[in-house]
Amino acid sequence: MPLQYINELLGLPELQLHNLLIINAEEVHLEAKPVAYKQPCPVCQSEEGVIRNGHNEPRKIRHLNLLGKRCYIVVPSLRLFCSHCQIDFVWVYEFVSPKQRYSYLFHRQTVEQALGSTAAHSARMQEVPVSTVQRMHQEALPAESERLSKQAWYEAEHTSDLVLGVDDFAIKKGHTYNTGIHNLRGETLLDVLAGRKLEDLRAYARTNPSFLALKPKAVVMDLAQMYHTWISECFPDAIRIADRFHVHGYIIESVQAVRKSVQFTLSPRAKAILKRDHRLLNPPGDRLSEKRKIQLNVLLAFSPLLRKVWEWKEAFSHWYEYSPNVQVATQGFHRWLQQGEHIDHESVQSTLKTMRNWQNEIINYHRCRWTNAIVEGRHNRIKAYQRRHYFTRNRVYYKAGILVECNRHRLSG
Ligand SMILES: [Zn+2]
């Protein structure tokens, strides 16, 4: 193939190829030189007094693969001299930054791959050392994170009916916690702040005026008092919603607590069956297959108390699904509380107390039907990210990495 066509393939108009140094099954090495003869002096910005003044060792730059082969471009490291300013300088190429061994395009492609999967995968695809990819990835993160965050915040500021989700996630199990601030409708992660104590949250609001400038219609949270206190301070007009799946979790816990007490009183055979099939008690009954329904009925026949608590749980799902408006939901909620009062078990009574304390926030779901389900999915993404990038110990890179990981799919398209 004539070199001029390869020149076009490379897409580097500043270069003129003049020699094919090596070509084999894996690699192609091309020798090139700048099209221009001179570059302006960095001091006086003029080419007038500039002369070429020899060269240093040529540079070998890795570029995008050419026809499936690793491609290296060998360019002279030209020395220039400005007679006006009496200074030496070296030729600056547009396709690669000074002293780098990888072209900008190669760099970008490698980072894109690392963002999409892992540094190890990108290193394999690009045939470069993993440590190099990790370095490129880390260098690219802050800018990429800032770009995506700007976009996410712009959207949140310009959304009518903004609904926020606030939830915590652990960096490591049982270790420090982060609080994530999510735009639920926009499906973006707006920010990650260290901690989940009221003082951490207040400090964040103090130092982030753009957060306080948001106008959320509603905020979804679990039943953590500090989140509700904080959000009512920041957004007194927002509807605070107790997250449906967290609330439901309390009911499931009570069902299982009753199941454990009941199990204790049964014959060995019944006990074994109940233990084996205890998960059948959790999902809504109408979502079970016919076979599972029969198995469930066996369990419920073991104990009237177990049946009662299961029916109470079913009534709660029904209340969530079918309350047509907030008035009906309010009445229905009180009926459901009364139903629970007839269940003689301390776990149920303690859950009822929690439900009564949070009734407004729970019922608020029927003013604005949003849940943090999407946030839970995002936590899995963050966990996977943490496993892949265990090397990211620096807080700045860690946060940037998570923001990129959670937002790139939604915003990069
Ligand atoms: Zn000069």
CA of 309 to the centre of ligand 1 (A): 86
pLDDT of residue 1: 54
CA of 37 to the centre of ligand 1 (A): 16
CA of 156 to the centre of ligand 1 (A): 49
CA of 366 to the centre of ligand 1 (A): 72
CA of 55 to the centre of ligand 1 (A): 19
The correct answer on CATH 1.10.3470 for the domain covering 155-242+391-411 is no
Q: Per-residue pLDDT for 116 more than 90?
A: no
CA of 87 to the centre of ligand 1 (A): 7
Near ion ligand 1, which residues have CB within 5 Å?
Answer: 41, 43-44, 82, 84-85
pLDDT of residue 169: 86
CA of 91 to the centre of ligand 1 (A): 14
Type of residue at 92: V
Closest residue by Cα to residue 239 from 348, 60, 369: 369
* Domain chopping of the chain, boundaries: 3-101, 155-242+391-411, 244-366
- Quick: pLDDT tens for 30-86: 999 999 999 999 999 999 999 999 999 999 999 999 888 999 999 999 999 999 999
CA of 80 to the centre of ligand 1 (A): 10
CB 47 within 8 A of CB 26: no
pLDDT of residue 300: 97
CA of 90 to the centre of ligand 1 (A): 13
- Quick: pLDDT tens for 16-42: 998 899 999 999 999 999 999 999 999
Average pLDDT, the chain: 91
CA distance 269 to 373: 38
Looking up tokens 């894109």 gives: 112
Closest residue by Cα to residue 385 from 398, 374, 372, 373: 398
CA of 40 to the centre of ligand 1 (A): 8
